[in-house]
Structure 1
């Protein structure tokens, strides 16, 4: 998957992704559908098989899968400039909306009992519960994976800290190496992967296409992977040696972006520990922002921009938002650029697949712990808020209503009823 020249321009990539960044509601699964329609069906930038390979890679790596697929598409089309253009255009609209919400919420200074705020917090309960149910079915099915998820949940609930969350994910990966290897252990994952590929590779032509080539070269890929590891190790030390808001934000948000397996919703407990646990952001504002993030187009990770705006750097909310946003997405960019040339070898490694499966099961448990505290404990505080949360969950899971509409309706219901 290396050595092919770029075939387009960064400007072309930027225009295509800006249209998607303005209109891509519905979360990461919907984003992947939008990307396929835009770049496989309409523009023909790559074939079905090539697109399926990129999706598989980004589901394998930690980080927000839809944003990583966008980065990989930009990288493949126009090199590293195309990768930057794809990320910027897809992320900027929702980041701007989240910063505006943060500034507006601060200006309004709502109290803990503000009705619209209670409605957003109740909606967050429904959104996280719905995401957890879907992730549990996909990542924690079977006795062994369910046991790993349960163990991770218990660990995080009993020892709530950033360290316990990281330890739970690391322990899940290590346990996966032992428990989830072999023909029987990963048969379910293999069948699901085959099913996904069949769904995406719906044409005979797609099955004959070679894997996607990328402008990323193997001789530069190790540098990106080394930078990923170096920043993960160095940022905590720098933040301790040179205390500053900017370094503390960069450290916390980089670590959160580097350790998220299983989808954007899993960033919730990691960021909650970083900003709420440290006292930088109160729980009410955190959950209100998380609810609002469901109602904007683009990636859920732009929630980081909202939180950064609430923790100004040098007195500037915009600078805080920029630091947080860059830090949470940088691990994804480094991993995509570093792993893309090695993908065929990586996906064939049974040990790597087992470790990722174990980590995926563990993050289900981490998210389950977050569903209880702080999401449920803060979002359901009365019979009325329970009713709003239950109605929102029903709308999401039974009526298949879009998340942005559910969140807006919950906020309106809170304004009128709570």
Structure 2
């Protein structure tokens, strides 16, 4: 057996002789066997037993094997069905619905054991990968910058986990302060080459004159930064600001997977995952001849878009509380309470610097609290004047609603049904809010 820990199985069959026969076969092969005469009874014990695989008859009184298949959770152990009455259509349907395999009675012992062993090995591998991802997820820092329960953030975290082990090129789009480099590092840390180098290049600072010597190295001299990063991840930050001459050289390296050291005659192979980031509109950059279209096609196999903080205001309080606690611990002081005035200031601000700005504001708030004073409004005012902060939470919410409704009406060119759908409210509710907030629909268009 490939594992030091014996495989475990739940055998479900209403035929007592068949249950005993299968159990004896599996126990002789070193398996831990639990048997049940009814599918419902086996389903009830599934959480307790946590078997590596389930073997179930198809036709049984009460819940059938197909019913059991439909009742299993996505993370449940693989289900192998066995039946004396099976036919090809039933087997095909069972596989389409998620069964691992289908075996007809009378079964051939070695074939049955092989199918069950493969199913158990696959399940254990999936469990191991899930545990590893959970540990790496905690280490990656995603939960710090991408903390939140708003739908865009939940989806983004899942997308990062799904893409991490693919090795494909990823373009990260997002405004300043949304955490693009942290996401790039998470893709690296969660990937198969996490122990290899992560090389971050600020493309705006790359010089065509020194690029080859610095990145490719020199013949007989230093090997260059790209060679040192081989096997890991190359992160191209601010890629739209990269000089065109450098873009051509980067494209050649990405396509050819080799570099030619300055003064050298023979190319040197390199291999790395390429992740890039920008806070610009890449299509506009291509149109303005600031970004090569062929380079963009190499970089945007998959695209991750980081939402700005103003589009995830439901997460504001959670993020603020998190950062306040973090800095209170760092500066060894009590966590300042968030008052209604603080909440009003948080909601009224547009957060052009996104999560990075909020983090700085919370740090200033904690430092002020150490001196016995301070408010969120004062901490925000360090970045820009805050003369128009509403006096109450109700005014702040109203200002926020005016902004959202105005943008939706304008985006949908006055089509109120479409605007209401985009806002997630009914048409009648939208009309009532427009009246209540004193909005002029014609002025918005």
TM bin, normalised by shorter chain, reads: under 0.3
Which structure carries more strand by proportion? 2
Which structure carries more helix by proportion? 1
Higher CA-based Rg: 2
TM-score normalised by the chain length of structure 2: 0.21
TM-score normalised by the chain length of structure 1: 0.22
